[in-house]
Amino acid sequence: MEQAMVIKHYLELDAERWKKTKRDLLPLVRLINNSGGEYSLQLREGYFNIYYQGNSLALVRPNKNGTYTASIHNKFARDETLEKLKRYSSSQHAGNHNKYVSFTIRPQNLHQFFQKSNINSLSSKIRAVHNGEEITSEQVLITDNPPSRKFIIIDRQVADHVNRAQIDLLALRRDSADKPFHFLIIEVKQGRNPELHEKVGRQLSGYVDHIRKYIKDYVACYKENYRQKKELGLFDSSLPDTIDIDVEEETVEGMVVACGYSQLGKEAIKNLRQKMTENKWVFKVEQPKLTLR
């Protein structure tokens, strides 16, 4: 029996359902592309997440009968926002110990359910909760590094069936457009975060080893993930329809990005680099700078 893949961050749909799903998602993809990086769509195993500033706004699952199920945290789908969403769903119910509200949406109502006014209402609730500086920093990195022919942040908050710990950002990088991409694992920490010392080094080293161990599964997953996102229209037309990713284990790289709190970050990075030498870890450490002229 063939062993199951450890990760499948893409939609397994037959040709007809995929064609229909692409058509149904066109208005939502257009809204995401016109958001200036505030919103993103990430494919998961059989569903996709819509993110707003790094926070999950909705989990959406295409159903076999052609409808969609959208699950939204009850902190966001409440009061007048809940009433607005109900108008464009055929049913709704509480799920996951009442933490989420799930809506069943007919395909012809999907664009109305996720219309800009409803998205704005949900986003305002998310802003009121605010889930942390590091998530915000992840979003800034994604927004400031749009997909190009040499560098693509392909996924965020990445877990698989073997490793449930979440990688902050997973990128694809290559030196030139005629070479295959390779994986770059990015961990984002605030300069004052105590994890920026030795803990993040062990964490990142573990992630690199894990993807190297399951490199074939990760390559197959993200080649399909890229292809589907390109067909959905989430990537610029100048990018290729398909990509190659290197299957050599040693090409997997890691990077720690220390954001904010410049002086604290410098000291933490100094200590981290000492631990890198002691433990023979091989990855990069970056500290973005904001220069006002």
| Mean pLDDT by groups of 10 residues along the chain of 293 residues | 86 96 97 92 97 90 96 90 91 74 96 96 86 74 91 96 93 94 90 64 92 98 98 96 97 84 62 73 66 38
Range of the structural domain that residue 95 is part of:
15-52+55-130
Pair 100, 194 in one domain: no
Distance, CA of 246 to CA of 250 (rounded, Å)? 10
Pair 97, 161 in one domain: no
Pair 123, 255 in one domain: no
The alpha-helical segments, DSSP class H, found in 186-261 are 198-213, 215-232
Of 165, 168, 141, whose CA–CA distance to 157 is shortest?
A: 168
Strands (E) in the chain, as ranges, are: 39-43, 48-52, 55-62, 68-73, 91-95, 100-105, 151-158, 167-173, 182-190, 253-259, 284-286
Pair 95, 156 in one domain: no
Pair 158, 282 in one domain: yes
Of 154, 139, 142, whose CA–CA distance to 229 is shortest?
A: 154
Q: What is the CATH number of the domain that holds 117?
A: 3.90.1150.20
Pair 268, 144 in one domain: yes
pTM of the model: 0.88
Residue 124 lies in a domain: yes
Residue 9 lies in a domain: no
Split into its structural domains, the chain has a count of 2
Distance, CA of 143 to CA of 152 (rounded, Å)? 11
Of the residues 130, 154, 178, the one at which a domain ends: 130
Residue 7 lies in a domain: no
Residues 6+ apart with CB under 8 A from 11: 18, 21, 43, 46, 47, 48, 62, 228
Pair 61, 175 in one domain: no
